[in-house]
Structure 1
Amino acid sequence: MKKNIDTEEAMIRWDSFAESYAANHSDQGDAHKEVLLNPTLFSLMGTVEHKKVLDAGCGEGYFSRLLAKSDAIVTAVDYSQKMIELAKHRTPDEFSIKYYQGNCEDLHFLVDSRFDIIVSNMVMQDLENVEKAFREMYRLLVDGGTFVFSILHPCFVTPESGWVKDDYGNKLHWKVDQYFYEGVYEQRFGDEEKVLLFHRTLTTYINTLLTIGFRLEKITEPKPTQAMLKKYPSFEEDFRCADFVVFKLKK
């Protein structure tokens, strides 16, 4: 675990392996997004047709493209300039998605009360100052607007968490440690350089959102459907503990 590291250093790391990250994403994202996150996000957002939607932390843009296919009016931002370049390259000409390079902690170039819906998919744990990011999301939403975001589940994905295995490699149980530590830590992304994640307790997330003025409507811990288990049998282990948690809030 490290100290005195901010969002900019975290995003520099993402920029350095944007290509390999994008290579692991199809039109549905990676397998975890296809199986667990995409269905949950769309369910919580409700209809997006003709709605002004901000994809806050779009990465290589797969979710922005899914939104555009659903006839949303899409604006997308990401701190990584390389990710924005990849997103633009992967976006068909018929999708009029507006892409911007920008840190979700400070999106001053976007005007107040602009969006009906903001979705942020696996981004908030990458930001050092999540309160600033949440305040920006609140500022950018219309009154009554919806904010949906997914993160690594802070109760289970903590510094030094992971599977405990027997001598044969069988997964015995999932170990959680350092839950009440709040700060930055490193986690390996595939075979690449380690990414920086900023851990916070569930209490911190929820109380910060409520203090800003959001109204919490729903929390979902995604599980695989039987249909997805037929396609991806290895996701059976996701019934043992939750990898992600998804929030739906209203302004």
Structure 2
Amino acid sequence: MSNGWELSAQAWIDSMGERGDWGREHVLDPVMLSRVAAGGFGRALDVGCGEGRFCRMLKAAGIAATGIDPTRQLLEVARQRDPSGDYRSGNAEQLEFEAASFDLVVSYLTLIDIVDFRTAINEMARVLKSGGSLLIANLTGFTSASADRGWVKDAEGRHLHFPVDRYLEEFPFWFEWAGIRIQNWHRPLAAYMTALLESGLQLTFFAEPGPLSGDPAHQERARRVPWFVVMEWRRPAVG
């Protein structure tokens, strides 16, 4: 069964410029890039790279980046925008790289797309070098639990609250915006934390970031609901 990405690829490309969408530009990018800058990384794997935006940001930071994605059209655009880049067709659940190949693996809003996320996390951990980091940006379970319903509003359209329901379950849902319709997955935070701990990685950074810029209306709503979580997990250094 399709998860919607092939049919939504063009709409995604049309809506996602170099600055990304609002959440990426004003909330996630500052945190993700600060972790990248602090790590002294040399070689990175971007799992679910899409049209290659974050790979290009890694490249600008002096890091040799490889991007993988299962969506053909997104990879074609990534190669067009970065002809010297390394973009490959691939799935997170079966990474075609040797163990300990990268000192940085990035999962930037991709775990919510992956059906077998536990296998994917183990694969990301496998390809990390000793002392390397897995840097994750994800939706919080507080928002993904009812993301397909969105805000509860009053008769005048004012945002009253964001609902939370079925939080402890794991289930897929269809999310639609800007001509894009894709299947995402809701999981409680504990599901991700347990899988990451069982992979042998150690948590070194955790944040539920708010916006650092952007228009005031978006900022106000983004501070009322924790949309995103950013985590950095490290493979323990050997010796």
TM range (shorter): over 0.9
Q: How far apart, CA to CA, are the structure 2 residues paired with 1:37 and 1:196? A: 21
Of residues 88, 94, 108, the one that matches 1:106 is 94
Cα deviation digits, residues 187-220 of structure 1 (max 9, x gap): 113234x311111111111011101111011211
Q: How far apart, CA to CA, are the structure 2 residues paired with 1:199 and 1:32? A: 18
Match in the other structure for 2:209:
222
Q: How far apart, CA to CA, are the structure 2 residues paired with 1:77 and 1:39? A: 23
2:141 aligned with 1:150: no
Cα deviation digits, residues 22-41 of structure 1 (max 9, x gap): 11112121221110111111
**Percentage of identical aligned residues:** 30
Q: How far apart, CA to CA, are the structure 1 residues paired with 2:77 and 2:125? A: 28
Residues 114/240 of structure 1: CA separation in 2 closer, same or farther (3 Å cut): same
Secondary structure at the residue paired with 1:111? coil
Cα distance, 1:232 vs structure 2:
5.8
The one-letter code matched in structure 1 to 2:57 is L
Q: How far apart, CA to CA, are the structure 2 residues paired with 1:232 and 1:167? A: 22
The 10-residue stretch of structure 1 (138-147 or 159-168) with the greater mean CA deviation from structure 2: 159-168
Q: How far apart, CA to CA, are the structure 2 residues paired with 1:184 and 1:153? A: 15
Secondary structure at the residue paired with 1:28? coil
Does structure 2 retain, via aligned residues, the 8 Å contact 1:48–1:72?
Answer: no
Of residues 123, 146, 151, the one that matches 1:163 is 151
Cα distance, 1:45 vs structure 2:
2.7
The one-letter code matched in structure 2 to 1:101 is S
2:17 aligned with 1:26: yes
Equivalenced residues, count = 234
Q: How far apart, CA to CA, are the structure 1 residues paired with 2:149 and 2:191? A: 19
Does structure 2 retain, via aligned residues, the 8 Å contact 1:123–1:151?
Answer: yes
Matches within 5 A, 1:101-250: 101-107=89-95, 109-159=96-146, 160-192=148-180, 194-225=181-212, 228-229=213-214, 233-250=217-234
User: For structure 2, which runs of at least 5 residues remain unmatched after alignment?
Assistant: none
Matches within 5 A, 1:8-23: 9-10=2-3, 13-23=4-14
Cα distance, 1:155 vs structure 2:
2.2
Of residues 65, 70, 92, the one that matches 2:61 is 70
Cα distance, 1:161 vs structure 2:
4.7
Q: How far apart, CA to CA, are the structure 2 residues paired with 1:14 and 1:189? A: 13
Q: How far apart, CA to CA, are the structure 1 residues paired with 2:40 and 2:197? A: 28
Cα deviation digits, residues 124-172 of structure 1 (max 9, x gap): 0100111111011111100110010111111232145521111010111
Q: How far apart, CA to CA, are the structure 1 residues paired with 2:168 and 2:218? A: 30
The 10-residue stretch of structure 1 (127-136 or 150-159) with the greater mean CA deviation from structure 2: 150-159
Q: How far apart, CA to CA, are the structure 2 residues paired with 1:66 and 1:211? A: 30
The one-letter code matched in structure 2 to 1:246 is V
Does structure 2 retain, via aligned residues, the 8 Å contact 1:163–1:175?
Answer: yes
The one-letter code matched in structure 2 to 1:110 is F
Cα distance, 1:111 vs structure 2:
1.5
TM-score by length of 2: 0.92
Residues 41/123 of structure 1: CA separation in 2 closer, same or farther (3 Å cut): same
User: For structure 1, which runs of at least 5 residues remain unmatched after alignment?
Assistant: none
The one-letter code matched in structure 2 to 1:244 is F
Q: How far apart, CA to CA, are the structure 1 residues paired with 2:197 and 2:187? A: 15
Does structure 2 retain, via aligned residues, the 8 Å contact 1:45–1:146?
Answer: no
Q: How far apart, CA to CA, are the structure 2 residues paired with 1:117 and 1:234? A: 31
